[in-house]
Amino acid sequence: PGGGGGLLEGFSIEVTVKGASTIQDFSKILPPGTSVFIAALADTSTTDIAALCARLKRDGMLPVPHIAARAVGSAEALEETVRGYAAAGVEHVLLISGDVKTPLGPFASAVDVCRTGVFERHGIKQVDVAGHPEGSASIPDAAGALREKVEWAEKAGVRMDIVTQVCFDAGTIVEYVASLRGGGIGNAVRVGVAGPVKMSNLVRLAGTLGLGPSSQLIMSQPGLVAQVATLNDPSALLSSLGGSKLGEGSLGEAGVHVYSFGGIELSAAWASGSPP
């Protein structure tokens, strides 16, 4: 991909345990030291995630497991999960509130987990959190919740990057980052970008993942029905971001986080600038 300035340098990428099972060696498809985020899906056990973390470490990657606060059943379960991840070599996690409407345990929000001290106890040095350029239906005061987490990280001495949900509109993304900076939040931002994916899958994902209004820009493309087998190309969005204040660096530290909806190999090849 071209035109994205330096945003793709040091990109991170997201996988599922199931998707990772098709890859024999991550070092063959990703640069050494790539941060690989592991989605915490409802049908994926923390044991399987820990095993994938250990495997990613062996392949020279930096594993970043997701922890969904509302899906954690108890304080003991949280302790056991983070202990298991740390034993697999994890020093970096992504903490989200999660899509569960009614918490399964004592944690109603991500900051509730932060305040337990579990990350400090197990040597976790970086706790990333979600950013919502188009708002969040499950977090009424997303800006206030983010500020609480940032303040916790500053006091705890833990690095915290903001990883945004997928947004297809460069202007909305730039506005969001500018609003963070205007509000005194200077944390690095990783802009969530959908990697190459069949248009038919993108239509389906827009509903199931609750993608924001900008996804309608993709859905309303002329002749979409005829294009369902073609791939969404994120390069145009990246080019727009590269030419913006975000790409020029005047809005602070920023990078790209690739959601591999179309498969890890396709997304890895695109982000690395190699043919799939």
Sequence-distant (6+) residues with CB within 8 A of 30 are 13, 36, 61, 268, 272
pLDDT, tens digit, for every residue of 146-160? 999 999 999 999 999
Please identify which residue in the block is written with the tokens 């990883």. 163
Burial of residue 116 (CB within 10 Å: 0-12, 13-18, 19+) is: middle
Q: What is this structure's pTM?
A: 0.90
pLDDT, tens digit, for every residue of 189-237? 999 998 888 777 776 665 555 555 655 555 555 554 445 456 778 898 9
**Nearest to 173, CA basis, from 229, 132, 112:** 132
Domains parsed from the chain with CATH numbers: 12-196+232-270 (3.20.20.220)
CA distance 50 to 66: 11
